[in-house]
Amino acid sequence: MHLGSYGVVFKGSKKDSKDLDENGKQKQYAVKRIFPTINAAFILIEMLILKLLNGENNVTDLICGYRLEGQVSLVFKYQKSKPFLTYLTTFNLDDIRKYMLALLKAVSHISNYGVIHRDIKPSNFLYDPVTHTGLLIDFGLSEIQVDQNGRPVKLADNETVKKIADLQKKLKIKNRTGTKGYMPPEALLNYQQQSSAVDVWACGVIFLSFLAQRHPIFSLNNSSKIKNFTISNLIPFVCLFGQNNIKEIAFKLGYGCLIPEEMQKERIEWKEICKIHDDKAFDLLNRMLELDHSKRIKPEEALKHPFFTQNYQNQSRNNEQSAERYQLQPYQQQQQTSSNQMHLEQYNPNPFAANC
């Protein structure tokens, strides 16, 4: 199904013909065969984190792992899904609410265990728009949040948590780089005490994608081999948040920055770039895309936000939920491939001026 930097993912089933699902069909699995070049301890961290999370609350369930001819494979339950671009522009506010709720449920669950996913993006949240079910996958960059002394900040007495924290310390794993277009200021500038706020920001970027019907939102060079924590990473944010706010957050994180005078000074209103307008959605978006990580909304708080808790009528277009609605058109297939591989794009001073 997929060839990534970590390994290859196959779809498969057991040879046992009695391994059937509730509809009497052969059960399907996703098998992630990890390249032998990947350090075994890294794979162990991913497995231990998955074990800790126990496949609950829309988090992928690790069924088993095995080693064959020196290659480790991880076996997961197969999740039916559609590519993000097939529903990005067709989702109404109700659909977006269901998606975000499913995603934040997973983020809240992992944050309760002190786990930071670090690579939340549409291709790592497998979503079926027909059944409105989603699954958070790919814990290859995930970490247990630790304090300055390497001690877990949550469930410090749990044996699995302790084991993961020890491995992280041994391997000097802390604040690994995810996909830059989904990273918040504190991650782009390598602030040391990162938390689940990193994941909340990434969810905010996806939320903005839906409301603005644009993808990607922030186009940042992800191919660089060196970590490249420089202030230039924050430049695409200036178009949305304004240079005054960017200077302020950079300063808080220990950087001074010079931004060309002609660039926008103040933040823009969400309604200027969003095609779907809703006050509660904009309020939640503000709180998720809060530049200061210490003020950013927590995952469990986000789940209680009026955007989710208010009783909604079907106020938007009354869309028929048919599978055909989510067929990928040829031009979208092209976009999907290129958006998965972030590439260097020339800096566009106002990326929101042009239509998607």
Ligand X SMILES: Nc1ncnc2c1ncn2[C@@H]1O[C@H](COP(=O)(O)OP(=O)(O)O)[C@@H](O)[C@H]1O
Q: Which residues bind Mg ion (CB under 5 A)?
A: 124, 138
Nearer to ligand X, 178 or 185 (CB): 178
> Is residue 117 close enough to count as binding ligand X by CB under 6 A?
no
Eight-state DSSP code of residue 52: H
State both tokens at 73.
């494979």
Applying CB under 6 A, among 49, 93, 116, 126 the residue interacting with ligand X is 126
Applying CB under 6 A, among 92, 123, 222, 336 the residue interacting with ligand X is 123
Among Mg ion, ligand X, none, the one that 30 touches (CB under a kind-dependent 5 to 8 A) is ligand X
What is the residue-wise DSSP string for 95-115?
Answer: HHHHHHHHHHHHHHHHHHTTE
Shortest Cβ distance from residue 342 to Mg ion (Å)?
A: 13
Cα 352 from Cα 356, distance rounded (Å) = 8
> Is residue 46 close enough to count as binding ligand X by CB under 6 A?
no
Among Mg ion, ligand X, none, the one that 187 touches (CB under a kind-dependent 5 to 8 A) is none
CB 244 within 8 A of CB 227: no
Q: Which residues pair with 9 in a beta bridge?
A: 2, 32
CB 217 within 8 A of CB 181: yes
Among Mg ion, ligand X, none, the one that 9 touches (CB under a kind-dependent 5 to 8 A) is ligand X
Among ligand X, Mg ion, none, the one that 171 touches (CB under a kind-dependent 5 to 8 A) is none
Q: How many residues are recorded in the chain?
A: 356
CB 33 within 8 A of CB 41: no
Among ligand X, Mg ion, none, the one that 32 touches (CB under a kind-dependent 5 to 8 A) is ligand X
Nearer to Mg ion, 114 or 178 (CB): 178
Q: Which residues pair with 68 in a beta bridge?
A: 71
Over the window 133 to 172, marking each residue x when it contacts ligand X by CB under 6 A and - when it does not, the resulting string is: ----xx-x--------------------------------
H-type helices in 113-259, by residue range?
159-170, 185-188, 197-212, 235-241, 243-252
SS3 354: coil
Shortest Cβ distance from residue 2 to ligand X (Å)?
A: 4
> Is residue 32 close enough to count as binding ligand X by CB under 6 A?
yes
Residue type, position 86, single letter: T
Q: Which helix (H) or strand (E) holds 33?
A: strand 29-34
Nearer to ligand X, 60 or 108 (CB): 60
Shortest Cβ contact with ligand X: which residue? 4
Interacting residues with ligand X (CB under 6 A): 1-2, 4, 6, 9, 30, 32, 60, 76, 78-79, 123-124, 126, 137-138, 140
